């Protein structure tokens, strides 16, 4: 009973984007109960959200060992392999999941996204088109299909797919984000050559390189420097304010402007370099609609 409460709490934490807290809760559970497949699956989700695909794969494979052929375990095995850039295995796991539960839109979407990450755009478009026609009620599948259409060089059809997704779910955050990205890209399309270039750039942005995305230490260093600069600038502003207010000191206006400008620039740079992508959404969604 206690474990079930912990799993429920971990699921809530994952749903609210607090994957680190979820992982901390789940680690003792799988230690005490290595046969708890549900805990392993939640831990796989947490590791993926934290950018630890190797750990996610280990957890997902543990769940799959406990539930051979389990569609949720296969889903997260596939997602972990995609994040690691091991695309053949990601596609194989996604196909196996689809074979276990044909017509499941979540599994069809995973198959399509695995293909897009592998750079197999034409295959992804065919797979997602077939399933989007069948599961016409599923907004997320429509979004994935729109992304495949855009990557394949059909931005107008992609816009139509995003529109259908928003008709099904007007507040769908992924659909809205992709529609904004498409709108920004369309401004750069002026002729056939630019169309090909923009769509190819989008397709490349979806592709995960072999070995997965590498961390960007330069960006981390830049973020640290920006944060330190902002802190020093803020402290300087406080000291200057005290000198002006209490000591009646005359501080040159150019110095005040320079400190304010430096603090503002550092604050903006800190925000930009620390911006993160939203975590992956849960596998578990209502799907038996008609």
- Per-residue pLDDT tens listing for the chain (290 residues): 567 888 999 999 999 999 999 999 999 999 999 999 999 999 999 999 999 999 999 999 999 999 999 999 999 999 999 999 999 999 999 999 999 999 999 999 999 999 999 999 999 999 999 999 999 999 999 999 999 999 999 999 999 999 999 999 999 999 999 999 999 999 999 999 999 999 999 999 999 998 886 654 444 445 555 556 656 666 676 666 666 666 676 767 776 677 667 767 756 665 555 444 333 445 544 333 33
Report residue 120 as tokens: 């197999």
Distance CA 261, CA 263 (A): 5
Residue showing tokens 């779910």: 169
Q: How many residues does the chain have?
A: 290
pLDDT the model gives residue 289: 39
Give alpha helix (H) positions in 152-214: 155-168, 173-186, 192-206
Q: Give dist(CA 125, CA 133) in Å, integer.
A: 12
pLDDT of residue 219: 47
The pLDDT assigned to 6 comes to 87
pLDDT confidence of residue 252: 74
Kindly compute the dihedral angle of the four CA atoms of residues 62, 68, 70, 72, in this order, to the nearest 10 degrees: 20
CA 189 from chain center: how many Å?
A: 26
Token reading at 27: 């680690």
pLDDT of residue 30: 92
User: Tokens 């099904």 appear where?
Assistant: 168
- Model pLDDT, residue 59: 97
Q: SS3 for 85-154, per residue?
A: CCHHHHHHHHHHHHHHCCCCHHHHHHHHHHHHHCCCHHHHHHHHHHHHHHCCCCHHHHHHHHHHHHHCCC
- The structure's pTM equals 0.74
Residue 281 is predicted with a pLDDT of 47
Residues 277, 48 contacting (CB under 8 angstroms): no
**Cα→Cα distances 243→51, 229, 234, 246, Å:** 46, 21, 14, 6
Apex 148 CA angle, 146 and 150, nearest 5: 70
pLDDT of residue 44: 97
The sign of the CA dihedral 11, 17, 21, 24 is positive
The whole-angstrom separation of Cα 90 and Cα 80 is 8
């Amino acid at each position: 009973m206690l474990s079930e409460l912990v799993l429920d709490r971990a699921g809530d934490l994952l749903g609210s984007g607090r994957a680190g807290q979820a992982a901390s809760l789940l680690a003792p559970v799988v230690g005490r109960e290595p046969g708890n497949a549900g805990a392993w699956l939640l831990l796989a989700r947490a590791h993926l959200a934290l950018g630890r695909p190797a750990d996610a794969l280990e957890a997902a494979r543990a769940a799959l060992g406990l539930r051979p052929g389990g569609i949720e375990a296969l889903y997260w095995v596939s997602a972990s392999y995609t994040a690691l850039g091991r695309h053949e295995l990601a596609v194989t796991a996604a196909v196996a999941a689809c074979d276990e539960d044909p017509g499941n839109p979540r599994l069809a979407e995973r198959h399509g996204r695995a293909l897009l990450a592998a750079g197999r755009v034409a295959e992804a478009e065919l797979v997602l088109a077939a399933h989007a026609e069948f599961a016409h009620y599923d907004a997320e599948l429509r979004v994935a299909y729109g992304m495949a259409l855009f990557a394949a060089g059909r931005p107008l059809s992609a816009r139509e797919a995003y529109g259908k997704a928003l008709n099904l779910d007007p507040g769908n955050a992924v659909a809205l984000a992709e529609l904004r990205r498409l709108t920004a890209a369309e401004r750069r399309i002026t002729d056939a050559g630019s169309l090909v270039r923009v769509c190819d750039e989008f397709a490349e942005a979806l592709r995960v390189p072999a070995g997965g995305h590498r961390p960007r230490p330069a960006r981390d260093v830049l973020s640290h420097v920006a944060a330190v600069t902002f802190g020093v600038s803020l402290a300087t502003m406080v000291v200057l304010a005290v000198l002006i207010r209490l000591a009646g000191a005359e501080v040159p206006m150019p110095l005040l402007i320079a400190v304010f400008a430096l603090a503002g620039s550092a604050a903006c740079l800190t925000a930009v370099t620390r911006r993160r992508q939203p975590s992956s959404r849960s596998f578990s969604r209502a799907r038996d609609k008609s």
